[in-house]
């Protein structure tokens, strides 16, 4: 058997990086496994201005690399590999990647989630340059500007209302003739003079040169296309947790998020969770960092109990 680590941390977003840092600082032998590169969704954000301690906005990649250097400075070992399967039922947990098999006395699952995309022309090109997937993160950047929100659930309607704190106007488009959101939220949006609602409408493409300047919308009833000048597009059509590899191994909710207790314990002893991959209400860098610290603390207490 290969080396057995005290803890395997799966995912190098802000939750995983913090968990690894705290675990290593507690003198636990820590391996951080990441599929692509550090930062997770944070690394796709060009401007982060609501993370405490930075008076000036910081680039998400820059913050991720700083977190990584700090974790490595405490002795965290980092391996880039794509997890294919897991076996969590034994005393020693096993994680199988494309490049090797890894063993740990405990595991912290911090694989994150990804925002659902529209997959239309201009979306990828302008991500971070006028296309956003988080109104709470980026709303203040659009003060006195005109923005478009895409979606029909609670999040889209709530965030459209939130954006009116900053934007001059908010256009909320939904592909159907009725929102899925709670009626009280819809009524609030309908009563807000800064919100314009367009039902039976989809976004065909996002336009601009260097930054978003407008969108092409389609009326799904008539098939008619028309251009709407706009400064920013918020795509709020849900998130997909990165939990497919944990199906059958951990208890998940109906949408695939990992269920956890207050100390971030999962349905299996020795397996903990942190960050966007778990079921919770607010997904921000700050909440992910808090999760990471608590998960590492819980691992330390778990291993302490096993050795006593």
- Percent helix / strand / coil, the chain, rounded to 5: 30, 30, 40
Angstrom distances, CA of residue 116 to CA of 27, 123, 218: 38, 11, 20
Per-residue H/E/C for 114-160? EECCCCCCCCCCCECCCEECCHHHHHHHHCCCEEEEECCCHHHHHHH
Residue among 59, 81, 82, 137 flagged as catalytic: 137
Residue 137 annotated as catalytic: yes
In angstroms, the CA 104 to CA 91 distance is 9
Residue 138 annotated as catalytic: yes
Residue among 3, 59, 119, 138 flagged as catalytic: 138
Residue among 6, 134, 276, 291 flagged as catalytic: 134
Chain CA centroid to CA 192, Å: 29
Q: Which active-site residues does the annotation give?
A: 134, 137-138
């Amino acid at each position: 058997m290969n080396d057995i680590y005290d803890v395997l941390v799966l995912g190098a977003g802000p939750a995983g990086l913090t968990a690894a840092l705290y675990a290593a600082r507690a003198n636990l032998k820590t391996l951080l496994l990441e599929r692509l590169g550090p930062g997770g969704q944070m690394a796709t954000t060009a401007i982060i201005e609501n993370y405490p301690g930075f008076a000036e906005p910081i680039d998400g990649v820059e913050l991720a690399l700083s977190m990584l250097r700090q974790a490595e400075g405490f002795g965290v070992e980092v391996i880039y590999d794509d997890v294919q399967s897991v076996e969590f039922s034994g005393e020693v947990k096993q994680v199988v990647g494309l490049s090797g098999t890894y063993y740990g006395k405990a595991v912290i699952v911090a694989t994150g989630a990804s925002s659902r995309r529209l997959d239309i022309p201009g979306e990828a090109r302008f991500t971070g340059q006028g296309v956003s997937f988080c109104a709470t993160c980026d709303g203040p950047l659009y003060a006195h500007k005109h923005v478009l929100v895409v979606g029909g659930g609670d999040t889209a309607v709530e965030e459209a209302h939130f954006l009116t704190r900053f934007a001059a106007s908010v256009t909320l488009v939904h592909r159907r003739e009725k929102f899925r959101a709670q009626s009280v939220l819809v009524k609030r949006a309908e009563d807000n003079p800064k919100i314009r609602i367009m039902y039976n409408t989809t976004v065909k493409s996002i336009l601009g040169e260097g930054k978003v300047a407008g969108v092409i919308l389609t009326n799904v009833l008539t098939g008619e296309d028309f251009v709407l000048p706009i400064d920013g597009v918020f795509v709020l059509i849900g998130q997909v947790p990165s939990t497919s590899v944990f199906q059958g191994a951990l208890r998940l909710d109906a949408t695939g998020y990992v269920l956890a207790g207050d100390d971030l314990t999962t349905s299996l002893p020795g397996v903990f969770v942190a960050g966007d991959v778990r079921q919770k209400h607010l997904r921000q860098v700050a909440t992910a960092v808090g999760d990471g610290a608590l998960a590492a603390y819980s691992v330390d207490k778990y291993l302490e109990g096993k050795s006593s």
